[in-house]
Amino acid sequence: MKLILRPFSPISYHLLPQLRPVVGIRSYATHHSTTSSSSAAPKRRAVTPFNDNGFVPWRELSATEKASRATQQSFNFALVVLGVALTGGVAYFLYQDVFSPDSKTAYFNRAADRIKKDPQCLALLGESKKITAHGEETANKWRRARPIASTSQNDAQGNQHLVMHFYVEGPLNTGIVNVHLVKRVGRNDFEYKYFFVDIKGHQRIYLENADSQPFGSDPKKFKLFGISWK
């Protein structure tokens, strides 16, 4: 039995030296790619009161950035408080001027309803459903939006006086309405001092006139909507 030894092929000796540079290049290339990706990592913007969106944790903020965030939050809180105050003010104004039983709008509506039910007013103004009431004449075509002329003040005795006048229009005529209400000290309800309608060319129509009552008289009254009616 013969043992035959075959020498390495010349090709193997030729390729072996070329393998080492290839491995070195690949290793170097991998190292270079890692370094470039770490150095190219994006840096976050500095937090200011104008660009802070709250995404950066508090612990990662510098002292200046913390002060900026505190300033922004204080400003936002102040805006919220201001908004709540304005909303409350508007709601209070609407209630006092429109929805409250003692508002001038409530008395205006009640007075207009009484005119639409009074026989003398209907005879001069026309059909009740066609009578309209509105405030001062303005360029606004929507009559309900016209302001009602009124004053509210207290006299020397502490009695509250509410005086207003407005206009009524019917298919037959137009008129001016004057109302004077008094809330005396210690009372919760307004009482009429006078309430009359002036229609041009006709005698004044009194719906309420306290001055015409005999001194010391106390006629029976009933209360409705916070007003003493006769």
- DSSP one-letter string for 197-221: EEETTS--EEEEEGGGSPTT-----
- φ/ψ of 186, rounded to 5, equals 85, 0
Most confident of 19-28, 52-61, 141-150, 217-226: 52-61
Which sign does the torsion angle of CA 95, 142, 124, 162 carry? positive
Mean pLDDT (the chain) is 76
What pLDDT, on a 0 to 100 scale, did the predictor assign at position 95? 58
Three-state DSSP state, 29 = helix
Better-scored residue on pLDDT, 229 or 165: 165
Residues 115-139: pLDDT tens digits? 999 999 999 999 999 999 988 876 6
Better-scored residue on pLDDT, 202 or 31: 202
Q: Is the pLDDT of residue 219 over 50?
A: no
Residue 226 Cα distances to 30, 34, 47, 183, angstroms: 91, 85, 60, 10
What pLDDT, on a 0 to 100 scale, did the predictor assign at position 182? 94
What pLDDT, on a 0 to 100 scale, did the predictor assign at position 179? 95
